[in-house]
Amino acid sequence: MTRPARAVIHLDHLRQNFHRIRSLAGEAEIMAVVKANAYGHGLTEIARVLAEEGCRHFGVTDASEGQALRQTLAHAADITLLSGIFDLKDARLASAHRLTPIIYDERQLDCLKHAGFPGSVWLKVDTGMGRLGASQPEKLLKSCERAGFRIRGLLSHLACAEEPDHPLNRRQIDRFSSLCTRLGLPGSLLNSAGLSKGYAERFSCVRPGIALYGSEPIPSRPIGLKPVMQLQGRIIQIRHLPADHPISYGATFHTPAPMRVGVVSLGYGDGLPRQLSNRGEAFIQGRRYPILGRVCMDYTIIRLDDALVEAGDWVEFWGPNVTANEVARQAGTIAYELFTGVAGRVQRIIRE
Ligand SMILES: Cc1ncc(COP(=O)(O)O)c(C=O)c1O
């Protein structure tokens, strides 16, 4: 029997999220961000379902992710490389698989020219995030035009979109809009949080990632998304421990009284943050149960007391009943890190 540690992927939720995003995006094109194995959800299935729902444009990190995605998708789909190309080999992959890289420096252009790249590029500009971006966009634009590459548009990224009232949002949007106008190019700026704030009509292409997977980008302003991933382990043993019995590594928890506990087949080696030790909760059939002691590599122990829970029951750590945002808050991280941190050894179970 396979070790019961699984991430159930609810495709019906993915479809609903895509249509919710579609309605928020207005006339803007959607570039579905499926980098990092579709945020840990499984690139092939996620891209297939989004394509079935009408999505024609996908964003991945680099050329090798782009090559993998091209094998799944029809030639007609657009695949953008959000980190661009790193060397000549990437430029050749981009040429062979009709991938669309972002460009932020001349060195990348040289690689593309060398590879005889026939496609189009996005120009990446920094409007306030202080990450990737062309230092002199006008100059780079001229070089692209001289090299004969078609320019898809300008692309930039918001630094504080999940804080809707942060003044940097307005500054970035204004800077980006005026740059697009000055250079006469269409623009792509908004991620999930920016999109849910409602600026979509101002840009030609939006780039939702986390919202597709059903995690609310701004939890205080939910837009009705449904969690796609449900991370589950199973109770593999029930123990009746006496009072003052230590639990797990470091004996950080001692039973205050005789206690019935469950050992669950999922731990930090599967992607459950160790920061949930003595603090997180697990969900079984309508109720939450506290995590006792330290989360181990392969196991987590939960307090059951007299609940009608048996060995063999499935236990949810995040999913439709406990949001990844809530777990992330308890663990001092973000839902993105939880999703992309789910280990390769966890089975992905696809539910239509
Ligand atoms: C350049 C770029 N665009 C879009 C996204 C999608 O962002 P989100 O998942 O917040 O929607 C990301 C994610 O990291 C990104 O790096």
- What is the CA(194)–ligand 1 centre distance, in A? 10
- Catalytic residue check, 199: no
Ligand 1 centre from 92 Cα, in Å? Answer: 25
Query: Does ligand 1 lie within 6 Å of residue 189's CB atom?
Result: no
Enclosing H/E stretch for 255: none
Report the separation in Å between the CA atom of 64 and the middle of ligand 1, taken as the mean of its atom positions. Answer: 18
Q: Is the CB of 192 under 6 A from ligand 1?
A: yes
Whole-prediction pTM? 0.96
Task: Report residue 255 as tokens.
Answer: 């039973």
- For 81, 319, 327, 340, the CA distances from 334, given in Å and listed in that order, are 23, 14, 8, 10
249 is known as an active-site residue = yes
Instruction: Per-residue pLDDT tens, the chain, 352 aa: give them.
Output: 689 999 999 999 999 999 999 999 999 999 999 999 999 999 999 999 999 999 999 999 999 999 999 999 977 799 999 999 999 999 999 999 999 999 999 999 999 999 999 999 999 999 999 999 998 999 999 999 999 999 999 999 999 999 989 999 999 999 999 999 999 999 999 999 999 876 766 789 999 999 999 999 999 999 999 999 999 999 999 999 999 999 999 999 999 999 999 999 999 999 999 999 999 999 999 999 999 999 999 999 999 988 899 999 999 999 999 999 999 999 999 999 999 999 999 999 999 8
Domain ranges of the chain: 11-206, 229-351
Atom of ligand 1 nearest to the CA of 155: 1
Locate 147 and state its tokens.
């090299």
CATH label, 229-351, candidates 2.40.37.10, 2.70.150.10, 1.10.3470.10, 3.40.50.11540: 2.40.37.10
Closest to 226 in 3D by CA, of 10, 13, 41, 11: 13
Under 8 Å between Cβ of 51 and 77? yes
Residue to probe by mutation, ligand 1, list 197, 205, 207, most atoms within 8 Å of CB:
207
Binding site membership of 207 for ligand 1 (Cβ less than 6 Å): yes
122 forms bridges with which residues in the sheet?
102, 153
Whether residue 99 has its Cβ less than 6 Å from ligand 1 = no
Q: If you classify domain 11-206 with CATH, what class do you get?
A: alpha beta
| Residue of 35, 104, 124, 299 marked catalytic | 35
Terminal Cα-to-Cα distance of the chain (whole angstroms) = 24
Render the burial of 283-310: b for 16+ CB within 10 Å, e for the rest. bbeeeebebbbbbbebbbbbbbeeeebe
Ligand 1 pocket check for 210: Cβ under 6 Å: yes
Burial 68-95 (b: 16+ CB within 10 A, else e): bbbebbeeebbbbbbbbbeeeebbbbbb
